[in-house]
Amino acid sequence: MVTPAQTLADLLDSMTREGELYETLPDGKVRCFACAHRCVIFPGKRGICQVRFNRGGRLYVPWGYVGALQCDPIEKKPFYHVLPGGRAMTFGMLGCDFRCIFCQNWIISQTLIDDQAGVRPMPLSPDKLIELARQYDAQMVASSYNEPLITSEWAVEIFKRAKREGFVTAYISNGNATPEVLDYLHPHLDCYKVDLKTMQDKNYRRLGGVLANVLKTIEMVHERGFWVEVVTLVIPGFNDSEGELREAARFIKSVSPDIPWHVTAFHPDYKMTDRGGTPPETLIRAAEIGYEEGLHFVYAGNLPGLVGRFENTYCPGCDALLIERYGFYIRQNRLQDGTCPDCGRAIPGIWRR
């Protein structure tokens, strides 16, 4: 509990333990490699995410709490090729390594960064979280809402138990990863959603990232055999030009045409309130571009009922309707053991536990 004299930073600093994703350097410094910032942190200082810090030459990392907890449709993550119609017990932590001005979860993600942000952490054990997942009939346990990479040690502690109990596990991430963190996660993590926010490096840097790191993450996640889906929030005047959307689609196809690409609608939030939401026609055009560039699965999200066929999954072989959706809800699922019932083509994804 936060006492009158105790700040949120004090409280969060007390809910930590020594991390594993770091190395020690001379003079008490440490280098964290939980995300691609690879912060070198002096004694008494914090990393860019603010929630990992150097105490006495050791890196301390968040442990033993959640900042948010909710049971959502798996489609909301969004994963459209993982256990359709299932539920994901989803936990978030606090803090982020990015500073996106349009963040929809800024209250938790910008903790210790923006004075207006921050919620009281809720102490929770992995066993209790898994018990809740079972009670709510979830099939997936997911880390989302803020950036999961920065709390990977805690996520692994939860995922170890989740995997033992047969849950599918997932990261909903900005894709600012390192090979080290992906190798660390690999035995415990099944699904990885990456945000591809823009194909312009200068715009990524305004958000606190680097385009090349995110592109590399998509490649590394796919190489390692995680199930990956990519999301681009299409923001008017920021990343919605035909050229940029085409470039994003081409890049994803170069990794694999079977990676689903979600183009989702923006709505004004946080510090980006100077423009309206994404019109359906922009989203439909973005989805058409994805298919024109050779991707097999492109989805238009956040505008249920307004984007025609682009909420559904079709067979890339014979164009048969396979999964019909309205928003997060499954209207029909015609897949048979992960294959098209009409032509027998195998459809990539995780269709059963």
State the residues that interact with ligand SF4 by CB under 6 A. Answer: 32, 34-35, 37-39, 47-49, 52, 97, 150
- Least distance between ligand SF4 and beta carbon 194 (Å): 16
Query: Nearest 5°: CA angle at 206, between 204 and 211?
Result: 15
Cα separations (Å) of 30 from 20, 42, 45, 53, 150? 11, 7, 10, 9, 15
What one-letter code names the amino acid at 176?
N
- Least distance between ligand SF4 and beta carbon 14 (Å): 18
Q: 61 or 191, CB closer to ligand SF4?
A: 61
CA 297 to chain centre: 18
Q: 109 or 302, CB closer to ligand SF4?
A: 109
CB–CB of 327/307 below 8 Å?
no
Q: 78 or 148, CB closer to ligand SF4?
A: 148
- Least distance between ligand SF4 and beta carbon 251 (Å): 24
- Least distance between ligand SF4 and beta carbon 2 (Å): 23
Which two tokens mark 340?
Answer: 């098209």
Q: 31 or 76, CB closer to ligand SF4?
A: 31
Q: How far apart are CA 107 and CA 139, in angstroms?
A: 27
User: Nearest residue to ligand SF4, using CB?
Assistant: 47
Q: How far apart are CA 264 and CA 11, in angstroms?
A: 36
- Least distance between ligand SF4 and beta carbon 56 (Å): 16
Q: 45 or 128, CB closer to ligand SF4?
A: 45
- Least distance between ligand SF4 and beta carbon 205 (Å): 15
Cα separations (Å) of 249 from 4, 25, 225, 259, 330? 51, 40, 20, 10, 26
- Least distance between ligand SF4 and beta carbon 73 (Å): 29
- Least distance between ligand SF4 and beta carbon 336 (Å): 43
- Least distance between ligand SF4 and beta carbon 100 (Å): 14
CB–CB of 73/327 below 8 Å?
no
Q: 181 or 199, CB closer to ligand SF4?
A: 181
| Omega before residue 260 within 30° of 0, cis | no
Q: How far apart are CA 18 and CA 8, in angstroms?
A: 19
In 89-200, alpha helices (H): 106-109, 126-135, 152-164, 179-185
CB–CB of 19/59 below 8 Å?
yes
Q: 39 or 263, CB closer to ligand SF4?
A: 39
Task: Encode burial over 52-69: b for 16+ CB neighbours within 10 A, e otherwise.
Answer: bbbbeeebbbbeebbbbe
Q: 47 or 118, CB closer to ligand SF4?
A: 47
Cα separations (Å) of 297 from 204, 231, 238, 259? 25, 12, 24, 7
Q: 60 or 314, CB closer to ligand SF4?
A: 60
